[in-house]
Amino acid sequence: MRPVSAIDSVSLAVQRTKDLLFRPFNWGTYLKLGLVALITEGWGTNLRSGGNKGSRPTGGGPIINSPFDISAIKVAATIASVLLFMAFLLWLFYLVTRLRFAFFYCLVRNVKQIRPGWRALREPAGRFFRMNLVACLCYLLLLGLMALPFISGFIRLFGQWQHDGHPNLGLLLAVVLPLIPVILLMVLVAFLADLVLRDFMLPHYALENASAGEAWGWAWRAIADEKKEFFVYALLRLVLPTVALAILFMVLIVPGLLFAGAIGAVWYAIHGSFAGASGASATIGVLLQIFFGCVAFLFFLVMSIGVGGPLSTWVRAYAISFYGGRYPALGNLLNPAMHLKTDAS
C-alpha cells in the first residue's frame, strides 16, 4: 500500500467505516461494533467523581476534626477501599485495551465479530497494557514535577483564605495564571502520547508482537521521514472529530431536550400519582418509575451508539488508513490486492 496523505486518508477512513458498519447492514452488528468503538475511542468512558457536601453547623464556624482522631479501623478500611477501587480501574483499563486490539482486528480484516481478535491478540494486548501503565506512571511523575513550583503559592493562598474567610483576588490570579500554560502543555503532551501509542505503536504490537522499543523505533523513523505529513495528520485527528461532535450536538440538542422533557413529565406524573400510596400501590409506583428510567437510559444509549459509533469507528479507521502506507505489514492487510500484485511481479 502506497503512502496516503493525511487529507486523502479521510475519505479512505469513511469508506472503511461504511464497509465495516453498513455493508451488509445489520442492527445487532451495528450496535455491537458501535458500542465497542465508543468504549475504545473514549467518547463515553470518562470517569467523573463527585464529592459529598457536608451540612454546615449551626454554630459560629466550621468544625474541623483532627486527622489524628480517625480510628485505625477506619484508616484500614479507607486504604482497603482505595486499593480495591484502583484494582477495579486497572481491570477496566485492561478490558478496554483488549477491546482496542479486538476492534483493530475487525477494522484491519473487515471482520464483524469481536471474539476472533479478542482471542488472537490476547498476548500483545497484555504487553501493550503493561507498557501503557509504565507510560501513565511516567506522565504522572512529569505532572508532579511540573506542579512542584506552584505548591507553595497554593499553600499561601489556602492560608490567606482560612485567615480572611475569602480569597485574595490578586494572590489567586498570581497563582492560577502561570498555571494555565502548564496545564495546556500537559494536555498537549497527553494527546500526543496517546496518539503515538494507539495510532502508531499499537499496530506493531498487534501484527508483529513487537516490543516497546521496536514499535517506537518504527514510529519514530516514520515521523522523522514525514514530519509535515504527520503534523497535518495530528491536527486533523484532533480537529475533525471535535468539529463533528459540535455539529452533532447542535443538531441533536433540541430533539434530545424534547425527549428528556417527555420522559421527565411521565416520570413526574407517575411519581405524583403514587406519592401518597402505600403497600402494593407504592411498590407498583416505584416499579413504573424504574421502568421508565430504564427506557430513557436505553434510548439515550442507543442514540449515543447510533451517532457516536460511526464517528468513533472513523477515528480508528483514519489512523490505520494513514499509517498503513508507512507500515508495510499493516498496508498489505488493508490492500491485499496490491500486495498480491507486488508478489506476482
Distance CA 126, CA 39 (A): 18
Query: Does a structural domain hold residue 36?
Result: yes
Identity of the residue numbered 180: I
What would the pLDDT profile of 239-288 be if each residue is shown by its tens digit?
999 898 889 888 888 887 887 788 778 777 877 777 777 777 778 878 88
What would the pLDDT profile of 178-223 be if each residue is shown by its tens digit?
888 889 999 999 999 999 999 999 999 999 999 999 999 999 999 9
What torsion do the CA atoms of 284, 286, 291, 297 make, to the nearest 10 degrees? Answer: 170
Would the pLDDT of 50 be above 70?
Answer: no
Q: Where does the pLDDT of residue 226 fall: very low under 50, low under 70, confident under 90, or very high at 90 and above?
A: very high
What would the pLDDT profile of 1-45 be if each residue is shown by its tens digit?
678 899 999 999 999 999 999 988 898 999 999 999 999 986 534
Span 53-59, mean pLDDT? 45
Domain count, the chain: 1
Query: Does a structural domain hold residue 326?
Result: yes
Query: Does a structural domain hold residue 283?
Result: yes
Query: Does a structural domain hold residue 189?
Result: yes
Query: Does a structural domain hold residue 60?
Result: no
Q: How much is the CA Rg of the chain, to the nearest whole Å?
A: 26
Q: What is the pTM of this model?
A: 0.79
Q: According to the model, what pLDDT value does residue 336 have?
A: 60
Query: Does a structural domain hold residue 56?
Result: no
Query: Does a structural domain hold residue 106?
Result: yes
Query: Does a structural domain hold residue 57?
Result: no
Which of 262, 250, 249, 258 lies closest to 295 in space, CA to CA? 262
- List the domain range (segments joined by +) for residue 189: 8-44+70-344
Q: According to DSSP H, which parts of the chain are helical? A: 8-22, 27-41, 72-109, 115-120, 122-164, 169-176, 179-195, 202-208, 212-225, 227-273, 280-324, 328-334, 336-344
